[in-house]
Structure 1
Amino acid sequence: MNEITCIGILVTDLIAAPITNYPDKGKLVIVDNVGIFTGGCAVNTGIALSRLGIKTGVIGKVGNDSLGDFIINSLKSENVDTNGIVRSKEKNTSTTVVLVNDEGERSFIHYIGANGDLGLDDINFKYLSGNKIVHIAGSFLMPKFDGAQTAEALRKIKGMGITTSLDTAWDSSGKWFETLETCLPYIDIFIPSIDEARMISKKDKPEEIAQFFIEYGVKTVIIKMGSEGSFAFNGKETIYMPAFKVNVKDTTGAGDSFVAGVLTGIIKGFSLKASLELGNAVGALCVTSFGASSGIKSFDETMDFIKEHKNNK
């Protein structure tokens, strides 16, 4: 039985770095590193959770192709339960070309693929029975599932006595709040980035943003703030947690890793403050290596990192 299941986007990432300048039309540039990695919010968060010692499953959709095999086999090798993954008969596996500049920041070329096929009827709710948390990973990148279907899934999951969590991606459609509004009353833990949270709420400061979502029924708002750390508000506690200072190589997967750290803390009964600190640590370790999962350590190694770097924030 899984403790946490991640429902969301499954992606193969083709990462090229560092990109110091972009080629002109018909031209070529040379990079130091190119690699193929697993990616997508559900995959990244699932792998990080498993490495942290949490029994984890993933629900999502891949194509009937070699990249789908790559994702499923990679998850299995990380001891992530893949029984909830289904194959699309219409679309290939979602893929992102990730271009990383010399400061570690990323730009993306994305093919939605099978993630756009994922729908409510692909979710086996019996598979979720006994979970402590179900995390929706990658809202705004699942056009069939986003909005009403996500709200219905969250409603059913909460009805099973399971804590719900949701993380967003960038909404290229620009609908933002319109898509998410019906979901908010069923979200226990909401974990957007600061930029996404601003776009959804039309508020600027973290305190204002958090209050906006609390008023719509969210129980706890946790905001990812990149190099500035993280913020949380649950109607009682207001917490700012500074980031750990590390040598950044690639920020791919940092937000998903942060989510895994926070949810691990919650599963283990940590305080909200300690859960944020654990999230910051997992995110910090992530960015020290290329790829979304290469830098993720075990729970004990991560706790050692916190002890060693507690004053290095």
Structure 2
Amino acid sequence: MAEVVCLGILVADVVGKPVERLPERGKLLLVDRMELHTGGCAANTGMGLAKIGVDTAVIGKVGDDGFGDFMVSRLQRSGANADGVVRDPEMATSATMVMVHADGERSFLHYIGANASLCEADVDMDLVCASRLLHVAGFFLMPSFDGQPAANVLKQAKGAGVITALDTAWDSKGRWMTLLEPALPHVDYFLPSIEEARMVTGRQEPRDIAGVLMDHGVSVVGLKMGEEGCYIRSGDTELRIPPFEVECQDAVGAGDAFVAGFLTGVVRGWDLERTGRFANAVGALCVTELGATTGVRSLEETEAFIRTARVRA
């Protein structure tokens, strides 16, 4: 059975680069590259884990359409188990138009699609409870699963002895802690971006953010801080780990790649410093290629990168 189960949003990404502005109404602009990639937090993290070499399964929902076929086939090709992906003939697969700017930053147009109907009943708990770690990916973008349903699944997983992790997306509706709070007591590793964590907690500094989250029951907080690397805090450890220097081609999926690296460290039993450094490396390699998982490398290749890469001062 899978070591890690990634449960969450699955999205087909149509990626164009470079895009500095939208064309005027009725007009056309050319881009240098246009590609179709897998996207969505669960797909990105699950495929990243599989490429690193971790036995991984993905649970989510897609439509019975071309994008859905693409998502399932690419998950399987990466080595991830896609048996937990539900096909919904009543919904279209979620998709995002990703506009990559010249500096690698992105803007998005998103269709939520089948992710909107993913619910507690869609989750294969036999698959979850047979794993070592359950990761809920894309909280705030699953309206039928966010909140108490997610809390129920996390609680059941923990009751079966499964390690739990959770990552958030941006909540455009501003519900933040109100929606997330029921799940936090059942989360061992919470891995949001610093921007999302600030919105959830109402705090600005990483140490204060982690304190609020730990007061709500989280055991370990790992904050993705972009060009500042990451911040990690547990009951007896506090770390700031600087990033590696790379040339950024496309930042799509960098946060999900970081999570894949972090979860690798968790299931391998590494200490938090090694885990955070490895997560930074996976995220750094991710941005050197176009697409959310193209740049992710095997465990051995990533460790070789760590030995030779420059760390940002």
Q: Provide the TM-score with structure 1 as the length reference.
A: 0.98
SS at match of 2:182: helix
Cα offset for 1:25? 2.0
In structure 1, distance between residues paired with 2:186 and 2:129? 17
In structure 2, distance between residues paired with 1:302 and 1:221? 23
1:80 aligns with 2:83: no
Structure 2 stretches of 5 or more lacking a match?
Answer: none
Q: Which residue of 2 aligns with 1:222?
A: 222
In structure 2, distance between residues paired with 1:310 and 1:109? 35
Q: Which residue of 1 aligns with 2:148?
A: 148
1:3 aligns with 2:6: no
SS at match of 1:223: strand
**CA offset digits 1:69-100 (Å, max 9, x no partner):** 10000011111001111111321000000001
Structure 1 consecutive aligned stretches of length 4 or more whose deviation exceeds 6 Å: none
**CA offset digits 1:261-310 (Å, max 9, x no partner):** 01101111111011000000000000000000110111000000000015
Equivalent position amino acid for 2:111 in 1:
Y
In structure 2, distance between residues paired with 1:291 and 1:310? 23
Alignment of 1:1-313 (within 5 A): 1-309=1-309, 311=311
In structure 1, distance between residues paired with 2:158 and 2:267? 16
Equivalent position amino acid for 1:190 in 2:
F
Change (3 A) 1:312 1:173: closer
Equivalent position amino acid for 1:73 in 2:
S
In structure 2, distance between residues paired with 1:312 and 1:196? 24
CA RMSD across the alignment: 0.9
In structure 1, distance between residues paired with 2:13 and 2:301? 26
Cα offset for 1:213? 0.3
Equivalent position amino acid for 2:29 in 1:
V
**CA offset digits 1:142-164 (Å, max 9, x no partner):** 00000010011111111110000
Q: Provide the TM-score with structure 2 as the length reference.
A: 0.98
Identity in percent = 46
SS at match of 1:26: coil
SS at match of 1:182: coil
Equivalent position amino acid for 1:192 in 2:
P
Cα offset for 1:26? 2.0
**CA offset digits 1:85-130 (Å, max 9, x no partner):** 1111321000000001111000100000000010000011111233
Contact 2:242/2:311 (<8 A) preserved: no
In structure 2, distance between residues paired with 1:310 and 1:235? 30
Equivalent position amino acid for 1:214 in 2:
M
Contact 2:193/2:224 (<8 A) preserved: yes
In structure 2, distance between residues paired with 1:184 and 1:127? 22
In structure 2, distance between residues paired with 1:287 and 1:37? 14
In structure 2, distance between residues paired with 1:311 and 1:249? 18
SS at match of 2:104: coil
SS at match of 1:85: strand
**CA offset digits 1:4-38 (Å, max 9, x no partner):** 00000000000011012321222221110100000
In structure 1, distance between residues paired with 2:27 and 2:178? 41
In structure 2, distance between residues paired with 1:128 and 1:212? 28
Moved more, 252-261 or 128-137: 128-137
In structure 1, distance between residues paired with 2:148 and 2:129? 22
